Amino acid sequence: MRTVKTTTLGAALALALVVPSAAPAAADSSACTHHFSGPQVCVRLEGRNGWNSVTAIWTNPPQGVRKRGVRLTLNGHQLGSVQTARRVGRTLSFTWSAMDTETDTKVCVRFARIDRVACDKTKYIGDRTSP
């Protein structure tokens, strides 16, 4: 049994060391509201140049909140309809799949019945996969 645990741990560590160097560089970033009390909302961009997935995260919802509507805006214009963020552990989150967000776009997320908005801006990073 100990051999299986050691092998699994070794494989996981090896994968953790290989994946970051093999994956293409990305312009991943995140931004959160900076209030000392009340809801904290974050937006995370994962992608490259003008192609990103967007995740809205409410980091400290009350325990009884299991889901909440969340909207995404690009340069102040709502994209699609309100989506439903669901609880996973201690947070509520929803991820919009990768899309053409263009660059220098202000990306914001806002949860229903919360007056805080988290925003970040997409960036052009060029081709960082070549030496």
pLDDT-derived band at 27, boundaries 50, 70, 90: low
Mean pLDDT, residues 22-28: 43
Segments making up each domain of the chain, as ranges: 26-121
Q: What is the pTM of this model?
A: 0.74
pLDDT tens, residue by residue, 70-100: 999 999 999 999 999 999 999 999 999 999 9
Provide CB contacts within 8 A for 108, sequence distance 6+. 43, 72, 73, 76, 117, 118, 119
* DSSP output for 33-96: ---SSS--EEEEEEEETTEEEEEEEESS--TT--EEEEEEEETTEE-SS-EEEEEETTEEEEEE
- Mean pLDDT, all residues of the chain: 81
Confidence bin at 15 (pLDDT 50/70/90)? very low
The CATH number of the domain covering residues in 26-121: 2.60.40
